[in-house]
Structure 1
Amino acid sequence: MPADRLDARFKQETLYVFKVEETQLIKAWPDLTAVRKHDRNARWLDFEPDYPLIRPYRPRRKPKPKPTPADAPQQLALDLVLPPDAPPLPASRPRLTPAQRRKRAFDAFRFSCPKPVARRIEPFRGDHLPLLRLLRALGERGDLFDTNPALGYCLALAFRQSLAGSRPERDQRLDRLKGLKQAEIMAALGLPDSKRAVKAMGKIRPASMSRDLASGLKRLLADEAALQVMGHLSALNLGALTLLLDPQLRALATPVLFEAIVAEPQEAYFPFTARRLADIQQMADALGVDISRRRFRERRRLDALYQDLARDYTRLEDGRLQACRFPPPPVPGTDQIVPLRAPQALVEEGRRQHNCVAGYAERVAGGDTYIYRVLAPQRATLSLVRWPGGRWQVGELLRAGNHPVSAMTRRAVQTWLETHML
């Protein structure tokens, strides 16, 4: 999607989002209706945005410009031409880029919401419209999101149809739930309502919640072995929960590894360690290597085993991997960030950068990962991952030998991604 065709404005209490061949209108609080159409002659249809509406707002302090010697002749010329009592010349405003206009529009949408509402919604990475509508309906009972945000998320999904529209029909089921305790709400939603289950639910970080995870919580919270692990962790994120949902992979992890997963910020929105363990298990099965008795404490040991297995697995599966067909890249490349469009390109990248990126071929073909070659500011390999909800996020960004990149390189990649994604 061309960057100049992705834009946003906020006016008349409405967020306008312009995409290629599509226009979206999202009414601000408390209306919260959302419609879109694909061309000028199409009808407006209701929809729910697949991107976050409430963005973090952190204004940058602009340093005061210091006068430079180069400014002196220009100022002297103005002093000679203008009379002493002339009004000051208006300051020229720099033209905003599309990314700056989008930020300004989403900031305005955020400011249209009450501060407590925006504060409660901001940590979630998706489904903001159902969440906003639920908080509109709960009113003073919105403090559920302060003590158990994951339960609030599940409640929003359960009532998303009846909450839709600017004047939703009164749902007596929701009215009855407003005065109930958390265990009673969980029971009404069909979730396990034991004390351990309620406590575990309260530990889930909002950034980890997605519809996929919500659908697996009933099974997870009924698993006594999983509850025992969750009881010893200070918090729960998507990485830990994904690992707990697979008993075979769970058996390979030690409590130390679970603690490391919970402490890793990126594991909140993508289960890197669980995916790495799943890849290891798949390659080990194909190579006839038994890892069932292994217990992993550190991610670096996982990475080392992955690299060892990936070399043999790539040779074993070379013919099949070459037959993989990659989808188009989710974000257009540039001269400095180049998408790798074929398995052979991954093999060559892994050889040059001394990493195991060739093992990602099947994930790229499956549509949840894409690999790019980064040429500047540093030579690096980038993986984009599709997090639950559909948006693409930076996964791994590493120099040769899996060494970390500089802050400048990470900022350059993030700026490129934000140019093309809402």
Structure 2
Amino acid sequence: MFSCDADKTLNMSVINQYGGDWKGSMTCWPDISFTPELRYTDDPFSADITIAVALADDNAKKWSQRIPADLVPRLIAFEQIWLGNAYITLFFISRSESARNLFTSNMGLFWYIIKHCNSWHPLETLQLFNERKKKILSFLGLPEEPAVFNTFKKLNLLKPDNHVVNALTTVMKSGTYKALLHVKFLTEDLINLLAKYPDLSSSKLIQRYQPSWEYFSFSDELSTITESAEDYELGVKWVATKLTGNNPQVVLERIDERITHHFRNKSEVSQRKKPNCSYPKPPVEGNDHIKPISKYYDILRESEEQEHCVQNYHEMVLDGSTYFYKITRPQRATIQLNVEDSGKIYLEDIKLKHNTTPSAEIEHVIYEWLLSSKKGIDLERYQYKLVCESEDYNDDDF
């Protein structure tokens, strides 16, 4: 794979990922030049052999020992973390003191320049490195501010792709970085999130961001919640003002609950515009503690009080295929009876508030009530469903 000439030129040869023979040579520091004899990409410095492999190979030692010792670990880190090509990095930092200084002080910006300018001729890129720092930002179309340099230093991107480059550009140009003064690390997930929703950067929770939050998909969950807020006309800024606190998981759960509550209230206002129609006569009469839900507004009220979606069954109640009852003792719950086309009645469900499971005591009371009606109501179907649910077979809730 490697050989070294008397003049310490490194020769490389490998069958690359495209199935072709790849050969190239690279002269020693400081007169770095790189000549691939065969390449399969548009990048003239493309190599399938990582510099970490070359540095560890005995045949390449005469070449690698000419590289300044302080640069070796940085070159390996650059190649591994930034998915960069350390050979092209060597080319630039050997020819430009400004490029070397930028590489050692701000790898994030160095990586961004190479990614941004990958279609340029190397001499054009070298000319850019030799400009003043603010002029470099101007060439890249970024704000000429010290905060931009600091933002690049915070980048902690593991193998970023071109999508991340585009997202990072969006974050910079939107000015989002100005609100990230206290963020210690900027990860790929956070950059993609802020590129999509720049207004979230103003939140106190985002400013406390830790990469470890991604273990429970913080960015994905927050993105989903933000989309829901937009759908229900709450907006991104509303979400940002709610993102306060030290526990991100709890904060997201609370925001989700608020959005759900907002939607429920908004939905009920819309639903109450419908007439308060009466439902068909229930198949089983109620008693002192079990009352049939006989009107449309009553089913809305039951859904609101018990915080479940029984209101969505309105059409089924109207056509006489489903009936609901509310029971107050021994527990507050909602009962659902279904009627088949044959006229057979069966107990479909019993749910407490938030769709939680009822106790054995309330089930016994309901069984006694249904059996006393002498309507031949099927209880076995409901009991079988309970067995299935205990084995992790979950039917839809109200």
Both structures adopt the same fold (TM-score exceeding 0.5) = no
Alignment TM-score, normalising by the size of structure 2: 0.45
